[in-house]
């Protein structure tokens, strides 16, 4: 029993050292690959499809300012006001679930980034617990602008497409630095479900969301520069 407890203790210590160390490393270096990218490759192999992983890291200054602004407007308008968890959004989502039976997402950009970089996509209480832990880590060791930079470089933006540069090249034939507000709003409109919502071939609903996001972008103003 003592050996088992000692072994478990070492596992716990190793987990904390590795998770904190990796978080600090990713504060300064690009994230080369995410668990979701590997999972999607596995799914492609299982389905007998051609493997596709379009991903190219670019720094924030190589992404047009309208894209972080659009994502900020559509995904998490309280991004600069919370410390990783938007309690008001969580309360509203819970109320809607209780009153209308509607399940609405309340994850912040920080939570989504933690999930994208460190965890698997399927929802479970275990994953949510790890997500909360890694959200606290990145909010502690990264700036808000670094969180957005990692988010824009790792999030799934289409079938086998990850990050701002890849989706710009694949869907619009340009680099991320050459995007404009309209294209950025379309990309943001696709993010809740980028496999079904294709920013290269928008549906009527996506055009409607694009108009809403453009209006919200004007209300919020430009995405703040890092101090």
Q: List pLDDT tens digits, range 97-154.
A: 656 655 556 799 999 999 999 998 888 889 999 999 999 999 999 999 999 999 999 9
Q: Where residue 196 sits, what CATH number does that domain have?
A: 1.10.3810.10
Report pLDDT for 123: 81
**Which two structure tokens, joined as six digits, stand for 157?**
């933006």
* CB environment 138-165: b (16+ within 10 A), e (fewer): bbeebebbbbbbbbbbbbbbbebbbbbb
CB atoms within 10 A of CB 9: 10
Q: How far apart are CA 227 and CA 221, in angstroms?
A: 17
Taking the model in full, what pTM does it have? 0.91
Q: Is residue 12 part of a domain?
A: no
Tokens read off for 74: 């559509």
- For the chain, residues with pLDDT lower than 50 are none
When divided into structural domains, the chain yields a total of 1
What confidence score (pLDDT) does residue 124 get?
Answer: 86
Give the pLDDT score at 100: 63
The answer as to whether 111 is a domain residue is: yes
Asked whether residue 133 is domain-assigned, the answer is yes
Question: By residue range, what is the domain housing residue 193?
Answer: 26-220
Decide if 13 is inside a domain: no
């Amino acid at each position: 029993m003592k050996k088992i407890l000692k072994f478990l203790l070492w596992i716990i210590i190793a987990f904390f050292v590795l998770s904190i160390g990796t978080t600090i490393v990713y504060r300064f270096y690009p994230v080369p690959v995410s668990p979701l990218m590997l999972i999607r490759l596995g799914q492609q192999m299982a389905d007998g499809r051609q493997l596709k992983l379009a991903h190219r890291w670019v720094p924030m200054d190589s992404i047009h300012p309208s894209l972080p602004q659009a994502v900020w407007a559509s995904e998490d308008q309280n991004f600069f006001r919370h410390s990783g968890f938007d309690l008001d959004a969580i309360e509203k989502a819970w109320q809607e679930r209780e009153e209308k039976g509607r399940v609405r997402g309340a994850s912040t950009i920080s939570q989504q980034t933690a999930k994208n970089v460190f965890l698997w996509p399927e929802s479970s209480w275990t994953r949510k617990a790890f997500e909360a832990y890694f959200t606290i880590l990145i909010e502690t060791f990264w700036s808000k602008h670094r969180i957005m930079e990692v988010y824009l470089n790792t999030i799934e933006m289409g079938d086998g497409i990850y990050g701002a540069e890849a989706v710009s090249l694949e869907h619009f034939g340009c680099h991320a630095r050459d995007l404009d507000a309209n294209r950025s709003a379309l990309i943001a409109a696709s993010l809740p479900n980028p496999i079904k919502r294709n920013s290269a071939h928008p549906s009527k609903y996506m055009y409607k969301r694009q108009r809403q996001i453009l209006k919200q972008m004007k209300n919020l103003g430009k995405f703040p520069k890092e101090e």
